[in-house]
């Protein structure tokens, strides 16, 4: 009997890292499905991608055309020297875009019915909040949990975590950048069917650190696929104080190749998928 190929793009495993944080390991389960989902998101169809993930369907865009495909291909093409018209983006921006979408896919795969996620960026140069997910109570009347994401694709993950991610999370923890969170959370609450007034009555809880999680996500080589390396990478997470172990999450996409080589290969596959999309058919 021939075993059917998994329709899930990622395999996700959760585990404790140390006394201060928990881990989430992502590995590619179906490379074709992953590449197609990334392509669909960048074509502005995150809603379609979310439906595909939730229903475990083959990844096919809702629609496409030549202009949409050409625009998407540019986002996965490397252009290190600025020129007009633009034909691509610097490699680090392209890789960051791919990884942010993978992070969103990972969150979508495990999200429950009452979970709502901010759509990932669809531009390699986008700035601001990487991601936020809110989970509502069963009756939809209150936020039970909010998760703030920081996604980094770098060859220096330890330095990035220590010098960039932790200070950023501490800022969020002290609610010094609360307006951005409130705006994003209110939009997500409305996806549940809440009215404008209901959303605004509920949204204040996104500032409550007692029901908040932080998830630092990194793309990493197999060198980091062991307990000691994970502990060393996420050392210092406890600087985000007065929360529990499970409120600090260290998430890792583990790839078998060198990091930039893997993203090069994935980008080529995404472009190939985009080129093969034809009027909603893959």
- DSSP H helices in the chain: 31-42, 46-55, 66-75, 91-110, 157-160, 166-173, 178-190, 196-202, 227-233, 259-276
pLDDT value at residue 83: 77
Q: Kindly state whether residue 4 falls inside one of the protein's structural domains.
A: no
Q: Kindly state whether residue 153 falls inside one of the protein's structural domains.
A: yes
Q: Kindly state whether residue 92 falls inside one of the protein's structural domains.
A: yes
Structural domain span for residue 82: 11-276
pLDDT value at residue 201: 94
pLDDT value at residue 130: 82
DSSP state at residue 110:
H
Respond yes or no on whether the N-terminal peptide bond of residue 85 is cis (omega within 30° of 0): yes
Q: Kindly state whether residue 245 falls inside one of the protein's structural domains.
A: yes
Q: Kindly state whether residue 144 falls inside one of the protein's structural domains.
A: yes
pLDDT value at residue 2: 41
pLDDT value at residue 280: 44
**How far apart, in Å, are the Cα atoms of 163 and each of 21, 215, 234?**
18, 16, 12
Burial of 80 by CB count in 10 Å (0-12 exposed, 13-18 middle, 19+ buried)?
Answer: exposed
Total residue count of the chain as it appears in this document: 282
Q: Please list the ranges in the chain whose pLDDT falls under 70.
A: 1-6, 123-128, 279-282
**How far apart, in Å, are the Cα atoms of 44 and each of 40, 48, 192, 277, 278?**
7, 9, 21, 14, 16
**Total domains, the chain:** 1
Q: Kindly state whether residue 109 falls inside one of the protein's structural domains.
A: yes
Q: Kindly state whether residue 227 falls inside one of the protein's structural domains.
A: yes
């Amino acid at each position: 009997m021939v075993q059917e190929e998994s329709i899930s793009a990622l395999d996700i495993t959760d585990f404790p890292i140390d006394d201060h944080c928990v881990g989430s390991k992502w590995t590619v389960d179906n490379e074709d499905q992953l590449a197609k989902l990334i392509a669909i998101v960048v074509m502005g169809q995150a809603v379609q991608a979310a439906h595909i993930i939730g229903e475990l369907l083959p990844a096919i865009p809702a629609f496409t055309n030549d202009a949409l495909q050409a625009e998407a291909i540019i986002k996965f093409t490397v252009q290190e020297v600025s020129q007009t018209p633009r034909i691509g983006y610097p490699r680090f921006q392209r890789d960051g875009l791919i990884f942010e979408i993978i992070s969103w896919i990972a969150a979508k795969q495990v999200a429950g019915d009452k979970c709502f996620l901010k759509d990932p960026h669809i531009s390699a140069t986008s700035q601001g909040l990487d991601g936020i997910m809110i989970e509502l109570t069963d009756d939809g009347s209150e936020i039970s949990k909010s998760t703030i994401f920081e996604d980094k694709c770098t060859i220096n993950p330890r330095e990035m975590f220590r010098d960039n991610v932790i200070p950023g999370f501490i800022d969020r923890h002290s609610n010094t950048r609360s307006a951005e969170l409130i705006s994003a959370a209110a939009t997500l609450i409305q996806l549940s069917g809440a009215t404008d007034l209901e959303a605004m009555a509920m949204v204040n809880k996104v500032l409550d650190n007692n029901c908040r999680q932080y998830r630092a996500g990194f793309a990493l080589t197999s060198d980091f696929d062991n307990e000691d390396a994970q502990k060393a990478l996420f050392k210092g997470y406890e600087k985000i104080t007065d929360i529990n172990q499970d409120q600090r999450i260290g998430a890792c996409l583990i790839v078998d190749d060198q990091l930039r080589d893997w993203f090069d290969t994935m980008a080529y596959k995404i472009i190939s998928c985009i080129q093969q999309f034809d009027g909603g058919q893959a």
